[in-house]
Structure 1
């Protein structure tokens, strides 16, 4: 694969800024990405700036309010995804991406943002390498995914958990909450197909169960998670909940592990494309 051959096995975390500047001329030599910089963006996380009318090609900007290096890296990768896949469809001036866009993995809700997020995840956490780190059948903890995010891939724990959910054969659900209400939930394929999911779009706000540490903001959470009986998160079955509560962002991140009792499902294996192969296949659409 091209990235593995050019950068080697010891290429993590990916230097996405360098990649954007060195590889986009291969994709579009007349108007590549010529600058990646930090800027005040008035609430936006990132932007793909169209400077072609000024003879400057494209620029990628990330907000100076973002302090976590992994979140900055993911934002740059997200905007690089817009360049490679969506630049021919860009609105006047380019793309401006808000925090909720970085959490959008629902293709029906926002196809372009979901595609940019999936591209960023595959670029920073390639399928083949991620599968070597976490086998599809492994029950992995939130702490283990946090270490993988920090020490290998240099991304946020949210991005790493979402990547795991897209690949695992286990039943699990990630829930993001704030002030005692569910913002969104994301299920693994086996969980989704067994009916374990949350509908948040177009619905009244859903309260986090009072038994959840995410509802109370508990500071002391057992390392193995909290076991809940049926009826707490899902009416028909128990779950084990692992939680990270962020004082800085006032967010709760709950990973719900469900019993591995649903075995007869068909899961389509995604083709393990190298990220640069994906760039070449989709950039000229």
Structure 2
């Protein structure tokens, strides 16, 4: 899966948000679905195992989203993810090769399934377009508090806001999602990557022996959405030679079953006016493809 394809998926989400008239947060995926004559229904909360599904048939397109995870932000992200399967070029055709119904588990935990990863990036771009995300972050504190502010403004899940913040933050920041003693995935801002020659965190890598690993050893911390803040060093997480001090902000994600860790430092925050706008230029110049059924 190339970075270019993921970027194009995210930019397609941004383009769709603009196309449907959303010039401020929050972007409403339910309204976009309605405007496209896509029927959206909630799944019974006693049925777990998936976050949502999309159905392509002769009568039209339908989306079903899960309700066993109580977060409204996660449900909105799920609907946005399924819209990715509708709007992204090639997704309907790929899905219809096997069946008219496609089940998803949105939230960047789908392993190496290319269309699922692309749909997640579409959803993050749809719900949090680059310009609007930067505007929300510029007026907010560095780290977890800023991510929580973005999640509130965008009405999306904390994890998706954390990932989008790492992509758009004008200061060095990394976010890590973990479960037990293993890493599920991690994202770093471009300025964070430049701090040193860093090791990239991959799915299944063991968590370093930091506050996050200790936090995960107590299930109650995750289920009760407990949060703590500690300190760590860049090299403890990513290797390298520099002993840069970082804040290690940790929060349990409740019924989602994972933990979010935010690594940042007020001392590393730079001037937001220096942040490059290459993606915005790419959005403006990009010609979108047609969606299914058009």
Q: TM-score if structure 1 supplies the norm length?
A: 0.74
**Alignment-derived partner of residue 62 in structure 1:** 65
Q: 1:199 to 1:228 in 2, by over 3 A?
A: closer
Once the two structures are overlaid, the 10-residue window that deviates more, 230-239 or 43-52, is: 230-239
SS at match of 2:118: helix
Q: TM-score if structure 2 supplies the norm length?
A: 0.72
- 1:32-86 Cα deviation digits (max 9, x unpaired): x2x100125651111111222xxx2111111132321111111001101110112
**Alignment-derived partner of residue 49 in structure 1:** 55
**Alignment-derived partner of residue 30 in structure 2:** 17
Distance of 1:38 and 1:159 partners within structure 2: 21
Does the 8 Å CA contact 1:214/1:253 hold for their aligned counterparts? no
Per-residue deviation, 1:115:
2.0
**Alignment-derived partner of residue 28 in structure 1:** none
- 1:143-176 Cα deviation digits (max 9, x unpaired): 23213212x2110111111111112242221111
Does the 8 Å CA contact 1:13/1:153 hold for their aligned counterparts? yes
Gaps of 5+ in 2: 1-14
C-alpha root-mean-square deviation of aligned residues, in Å? 3.7
Distance of 1:210 and 1:253 partners within structure 2: 13
**Alignment-derived partner of residue 269 in structure 1:** 278
Does the 8 Å CA contact 1:105/1:117 hold for their aligned counterparts? no
Q: How does 1:131-146 map to 2 (within 5 A)?
A: 131-135=134-138, 140-146=142-148
Per-residue deviation, 1:129:
1.4
| Number of equivalent positions | 258
Residue 95 in 1 paired to residue 102 in 2?
Answer: yes
- 1:196-241 Cα deviation digits (max 9, x unpaired): 344324x6x403424446345568766xx32224653344433211
Residue 239 in 1 paired to residue 252 in 2?
Answer: no
Does the 8 Å CA contact 1:47/1:94 hold for their aligned counterparts? yes
SS at match of 2:236: coil
